[in-house]
Amino acid sequence: MNFRAGDDDYLDLARLAHVGSQSVRTLRNHIHDPVDPLPAYRVGGKILVKRSDFDAWMARRRYVARTVDTIVDDVLHELKGQARPRLRAVEGGSPMIAHPASGHAT
């Protein structure tokens, strides 16, 4: 059987571990995560993950580093007793501003 990973193939955990640079054990833990589990399918005794599901799941975990300027601004605002609105990620990847005083997002 020739296997060539396409954009939306079903991958077993060993193949996905290679593609996603994570161990099989870590992937199993992500599948059983109660908050945001990695979508998976059990076919017989094999666990498969659709490549597009894995890509979407990973995109929700994108890390954006804070800059020194942002950290300094946050500290200065906290010292002045003013809480700055912070961006927070929401489903779909669009950032929203959460206002600390009201808790409402815009």
Could you tell me the pTM of the whole model?
Answer: 0.56
Burial of residue 38, with CB atoms counted within 10 A of its CB: 0-12 exposed, 13-18 middle, 19 or more buried:
buried
What confidence tens digit (pLDDT) does each residue in 51-73 have? 999 999 999 888 777 788 888 88
* % of the chain at pLDDT higher than 90: 46
Yes or no: say if 55 and 62 are a contact pair by the CB < 8 Å rule: no
Mean of the per-residue pLDDT values of the chain: 79
> Is the predicted pLDDT of residue 106 greater than 50, yes or no?
no
> Is the predicted pLDDT of residue 15 greater than 80, yes or no?
yes
| Boundaries of every domain in the chain | 10-59, 68-98
